[in-house]
């Protein structure tokens, strides 16, 4: 059997049906429950501008490692031993990277950057080797490997840098290389650029993978609330109220995403003439959505731990910014799915900005209830809009 045919044997079957998410992929995602928890803890223990920037850099590393692997498992069948073995190795490396997050900008910078580079460059080089012999996907993986090698130099350079500002600067450049390069088809001198029309993805599978990662992030939010509740010395009315506020807030985030657009998102990516481009948009937007969930999880922890405390500037900012990031990401998500961003989401961001004026006069519990109310009201608006869309579609048919 020729090499191209051998590579073809590793690809997912494209029979026109929705490719299912495999147990291997679900198992792989379990590592990212831990990774998301680590990012939220990093932010919780460093509630200042520097800590927020560090958490953002780390989050993009976590997301990009998952995202590129998601694309690989969309093209290649995880049930094949060659791909399944790769996924297991990536899981181990991702766990090592996640475990080093608390000291990623300190003494474990080498472990964090080294494990991440092994994930990104190692996976891409391995797949490029599988595609040897002139496979149509080979040029795309060659360009991808080129960009990831460039970014790896900045990751390793940052780990070598002793000065924290230099390390952070180099890692920001590394993140930009990996996040922006797909927008330009991984263009490289002498190698040309890839076209999204060539990315023959399975759209339904990609949409479902993104949805499952949102579940991972929301699950970590509930887990954090449960841990805070279990650690509380006394269960009183304030704690019960805090739990209710944070639970309903998390439920509102779930409803904004799954209650109105998940099935439409699958249809959008499968029904387009350029699913590769829409799939890329999905990943860009979901990085923002999940970042909002992580920040909301940290806010929930603050509310449950100190319900009657007056929020500091950093705490108040975090409680308001988390839902704002999520609503902004949700607006962009619906822009991709439906072609327009709902005004209710933008109005919600404005209301959250106005709430900043009252933060010096309220406690964390009151502020938590206020942000939850904003999310729930917008969720109700989305539910009504979804029902209206269903009626319109029914009338047309």
52-75: pLDDT as tens digits: 999 999 999 999 999 999 888 888
Task: Output the pLDDT for position 386.
Answer: 67
CB 60 within 8 A of CB 311: no
Four-point Cα dihedral 216, 220, 221, 224, nearest 10: 170
Task: Output the pLDDT for position 394.
Answer: 57
Query: How many beta carbons lie within 10 A of that of residue 197, not counting itself?
Result: 11
pLDDT band of 40, cuts 50, 70, 90: very high
Task: Output the pLDDT for position 261.
Answer: 60
Crossing angle of helices 262-271 and 203-231, rounded to 10°: 150
Task: Output the pLDDT for position 119.
Answer: 97
Task: Output the pLDDT for position 51.
Answer: 94
> In this predicted model, which residue has the larger pLDDT, 389 or 382?
382
Lowest mean pLDDT among 33-42, 91-100, 189-198, 232-241: 189-198
The residues near 86 (Cβ < 8 Å, ≥ 6 apart) are 72, 123, 126, 127
Q: At residue 108, what are phi and psi to the nearest 5 degrees?
A: -105, 25
pLDDT higher than threshold 70 for residue 1: no
Task: Output the pLDDT for position 3.
Answer: 42
Mean pLDDT of the region 232-246? 88
334-348: pLDDT as tens digits: 888 888 888 889 999
pLDDT higher than threshold 60 for residue 45: yes
105-116: pLDDT as tens digits: 999 999 999 999
CA gap 3, 280 in Å, rounded: 29
Nearest C-alpha neighbor of 69 from the set 50, 88, 45: 88
- CA atoms within a 13 Å half-sphere pointing along the CA-CB vector of 68: 31
pLDDT band of 88, cuts 50, 70, 90: very high
CA gap 178, 172 in Å, rounded: 10
Q: At residue 14, what are phi and psi to the nearest 5 degrees?
A: -105, 85
Task: Output the pLDDT for position 390.
Answer: 58
Task: Output the pLDDT for position 227.
Answer: 84
Question: 3-state secondary structure string, 314-355?
Answer: HHHHHHHHHHHHHHHHHHHHHHHHHCCCCHHHHHHHHHHHHH
Mean pLDDT of the region 259-286? 73
Rounded to the nearest integer, the mean pLDDT of the chain is: 87
In 3-state terms, what secondary structure has residue 133?
coil
Query: How many beta carbons lie within 10 A of that of residue 122, not counting itself?
Result: 16
Mean pLDDT of the region 191-202? 69
Mean pLDDT of the region 83-100? 96
Task: Output the pLDDT for position 2.
Answer: 40
Burial of 394 (0-12, 13-18, 19+ CB in 10 A): exposed
pTM of the predicted protein model: 0.90
> In this predicted model, which residue has the larger pLDDT, 163 or 8?
163
Task: Output the pLDDT for position 18.
Answer: 58
Percent of the chain having pLDDT more than 90?
57
CA gap 208, 269 in Å, rounded: 11
Whose structure tokens read 């997912």? 12
In the chain the domains, ranked by start, together with CATH numbers, are 3-198 (no CATH), 203-396 (1.20.1410)
CA distances from 301 to 49, 141, 211, 294, 396 (A): 19, 41, 24, 11, 47
Task: Output the pLDDT for position 287.
Answer: 92
Mean pLDDT of the region 190-206? 71
């Amino acid at each position: 059997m020729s090499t191209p045919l051998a590579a073809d044997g590793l690809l997912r079957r494209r029979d026109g049906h929705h490719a299912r998410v495999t147990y291997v992929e679900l198992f792989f995602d379990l590592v990212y429950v831990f990774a998301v928890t680590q990012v939220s803890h990093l932010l919780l223990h460093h509630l200042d501008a520097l800590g927020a920037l560090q958490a953002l850099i780390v989050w993009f590393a976590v997301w990009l490692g998952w995202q590129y692997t998601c694309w690989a498992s969309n093209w290649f069948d995880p049930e094949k031993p060659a791909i399944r073995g790769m996924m297991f190795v990536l899981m181990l490396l991702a766990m090592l990277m996640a475990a080093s997050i608390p000291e990623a900008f300190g003494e474990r910078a080498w472990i964090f950057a080294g494990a991440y580079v092994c994930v990104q460059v190692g996976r891409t080089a391995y797949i490029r080797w599988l595609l040897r012999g002139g496979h149509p996907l080979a040029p795309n993986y060659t360009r991808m490997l080129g960009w990831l090698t460039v970014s790896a130099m900045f990751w390793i350079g940052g780990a070598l840098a002793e000065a924290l500002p230099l390390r952070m600067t180099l890692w920001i450049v590394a993140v930009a290389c990996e996040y922006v390069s797909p927008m330009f088809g991984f263009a490289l001198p002498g190698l040309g650029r890839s076209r999204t029309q060539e990315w023959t993805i399975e759209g339904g599978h990609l949409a479902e993978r993104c949805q499952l990662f949102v579940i991972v992030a929301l699950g970590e939010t509930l887990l954090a609330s449960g841990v805070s509740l279990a650690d509380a010395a006394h269960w009183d009315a304030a704690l019960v109220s805090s739990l209710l506020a944070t639970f309903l807030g998390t439920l509102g985030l779930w409803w904004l995403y799954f209650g109105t657009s998940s099935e439409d998102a699958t249809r959008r990516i499968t029904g387009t003439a350029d699913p590769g481009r829409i799939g890329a948009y999905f990943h860009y937007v979901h990085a923002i959505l999940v970042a909002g969930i992580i920040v909301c999880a940290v806010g929930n922890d603050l509310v449950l731990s100190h319900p009657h405390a007056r929020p500091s500037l950093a705490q108040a900012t975090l409680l308001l910014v988390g839902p704002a990031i999520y609503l902004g990401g949700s607006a962009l998500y619906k822009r991709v799915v439906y072609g327009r961003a709902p005004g209710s989401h933008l109005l919600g961001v404005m209301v959250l900005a106005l709430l900043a004026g009252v933060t010096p006069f309220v406690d964390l519990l009151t502020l938590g209830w206020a942000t939850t109310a904003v999310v729930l009201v917008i969720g109700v608006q989305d539910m009504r809009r979804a029902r209206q869309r269903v009626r319109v579609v029914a009338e047309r048919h």
